[in-house]
Amino acid sequence: MELGPRLVGVLAALSVLAAVVGRVSGLGQDRPIVVAVLRATVQLAAVSAVLLLVVRSLLLSVAFVLLMVVVAAITAAGRVTGLPLRAPGAAPRVRVAAAPIVVGAGPVVALMLASGTVPLRGEAVIPIAGILIGGGMTATSLAGRRLREELELRRGEVEAALALGLLPRDAVLEVARPAAGTALVPPLDQTRTVGLVTLPGAFVGVLLGGGSPLDAGAAQLLVLVGLLATEAIAVWVVTELVARGRVLQDLPR
């Protein structure tokens, strides 16, 4: 893919198309779409410039990965609790939200690096870690938000379970586990249909980089299975944290 006027023109046309659809469909998402595109453009331009320097140093690459974790935790904390960052108690919320992301992505990244499957170089570590951290963030956000909505809706069932003598954790888990499991539907569907419905980014990236289709398939499989493991762990951890009252403070006890 070459940088140039044609790329700029296509991006502008796609942005206008998305914004127009957001307006005429009645969804009222035209402004958020435009803002999202502008933010993505600025952020990717800045990140690309930073990465030109960061990938040359393993230490700087690790620091950049830690920054990814912080941003992911802030995003997930807001989604799970429904509270803005400026609300009181932001720091504890972010720390708790970081746990599923780190516990999910950490072992997977460590296994890939220890096995030599992913070379210990900045240009390899940052993309793989970023994909897995992003997957952990998405799983944490989806599961946590789904749990919050389900527990609000079915609060009476939790209170009834408590009245029957169940421990608070067990009473919450009776409602929480089935709801949290729905957060794994997107990665499961993506894994089941890969190659038949879509050719995801890792596959396309290897092909565009000059790799063979077999290399592209192997890279994509590594990413998909790693994502599935990361997201399964993240959903499990955030479910346990919710059940133990570490995330949502207004649960029946």
**pLDDT tens-digit series, residues 93-128:** 999 999 999 999 999 999 999 999 888 888 888 989
**pLDDT score at 230:** 95
Q: What residue spans define the domains of the chain?
A: 1-54, 57-243
Burial class of 127 by CB neighbour count within 10 A (0 to 12, 13 to 18, 19+): middle
Residue 200 has pLDDT above 80, yes or no: no
What does the pLDDT average to over 163-181?
A: 86
pLDDT band at 56 (very low <50, low <70, confident <90, very high): confident
The mean of the pLDDT values for the chain is 86
Residue 203 has pLDDT above 80, yes or no: no
**pLDDT score at 226:** 92
Give the number of other CB atoms < 10 A from CB of residue 120: 12
* Residues 198-211 as b or e (16 or more Cβ within 10 Å = b): eebebbeebbeeee
pLDDT band at 204 (very low <50, low <70, confident <90, very high): low
Bridge partners (DSSP) listed for residue 194: 198
Residue 1 has pLDDT above 60, yes or no: no
pLDDT tens profile 125-167: 898 999 999 999 999 999 999 999 888 888 888 888 888 888 8
**pLDDT score at 27:** 82
**pLDDT score at 208:** 60
CA nearest neighbour of 21 among 32, 13, 30, 9: 30
**Who contacts 167 (Cβ-Cβ below 8 Å, separation ≥6)?**
none
pLDDT tens profile 211-231: 677 777 787 888 889 999 999
Q: Using H for helix, E for strand and C for coil, what is the string for the chain?
A: CCCCHHHHHHHHHHHHHHHHHHHHCCCCCHHHHHHHHHHHHHHHHHHHHHHHHHCCCHHHHHHHHHHHHHHHHHHHHHHHHCCCCCCCCHHHHHHHHHHHHHHHHHHHHHHHHHHCCCCCCHHHHHHHHHHHHHHHHHHHHHHHHHHHHHHHHCHHHHHHHHHCCCCHHHHHHHHHHHHHHHHHHHHHHHHHHECCCECCHHHHHHHHCCCCHHHHHHHHHHHHHHHHHHHHHHHHHHHHHHHCCCCCCCCCC
